[in-house]
Copies of this chain bind each other. A is one copy, B any other.
């Protein structure tokens, strides 16, 4: 993206590696140098990113445009890969979900979490396929013994999709769009053909995909609960509404036009406040550490 969170992550990794070298008694003059690559889609605002680079950084930094589902770097080029809150984005809405003739067709909703099993499976399969593409590309680029630090928002193995905080929120957003369809502001077909390309994985699903891919050992896998905020419900609702608008505005604008956005998020904010999402919604991050196998 455009920073500044990314610089915190980079600094943590650089310091951890330097600490390890120093604790092993390496001479100061023999410490490694760091070349960092910041990746995002070619349409990301790299100009803003480059303007905000920390001035006194102890690493070199380049921007690497392109999709991480495919190859970005030469063979055996990377030692540590860090990806945070990115792999939950699917490369596309699963095709069956948009196919009127498929049992996975997602009529009257914009998300999978309260949909039928076929729709949920289509999303889960797409997530697994995308993660496999990511791992396959990185497997060529990461040296043997190299690491991938992977963070995604997720859920525990036992929590149903319908209890995930973000999933409940997306379902509420979908119901707001259906309300607008009923009022004739947008067409119902427009809602049927819109689906959010995000999936919240469980540790078991993540592990199964890493195993099937075969290139990496899963050194560590944790499901970390996020801290609850102490804000009031209206404050929380506003924060969630802003957050989701920031993430989805681009897609919503493209599909429905920008005119509906203010009204949509006003009603979303209102429904959030009245909902049980802040009592029932579960928020977890999955943290996985993967090590490239020796070939």
Interface on A for B, CB 8 Å cutoff?
33-35, 37, 42-43, 45-47, 50-51, 53, 60-65, 71-75, 77
Contacts and interface: CB of A to CB of B under 8 A. Distances in A.
Contact of A46 (B53, B63, B71, B74): B63
Contact of A72 (B53, B60, B63, B77): B60
A50 B46 contact: yes
Q: How many copies of the shown chain assemble into the complex?
A: 2
A51 B62 contact: no
B51 A37 contact: no
A223 to B, nearest CB: 34
A35 B65 contact: no
B47 A45 contact: yes
Contacts of A37: 62
Given A35-B77, A62-B62, A62-B65, 12 more contacts: A33-B74, A34-B74, A42-B50, A42-B51, A45-B47, A46-B63, A60-B73, A60-B74, A62-B63, A62-B64, A63-B63, A63-B64
Nearest to A71: B60
Nearest to A65: B50
A16 to B, nearest CB: 18
A37 B8 CA distance: 24
Contacts of A53: 42, 65
Contacts of A47: 43, 45-47
| Nearest 8 Cβ contacts at the A-B interface | A33-B74, A50-B65, A63-B63, A62-B62, A42-B50, A46-B46, A62-B64, A47-B47
Nearest to A40: B50
Contacts of A75: 33
21 contacts: A33-B74, A33-B75, A34-B74, A35-B74, A35-B77, A37-B62, A42-B51, A42-B53, A43-B47, A43-B51, A46-B46, A46-B50, A50-B63, A50-B65, A60-B71, A60-B73, A62-B63, A62-B65, A63-B63, A63-B64, A63-B65
A34 B75 CA distance: 10
A72 B46 CA distance: 17
Contacts of A62: 37, 62-65
A66 B32 CA distance: 21
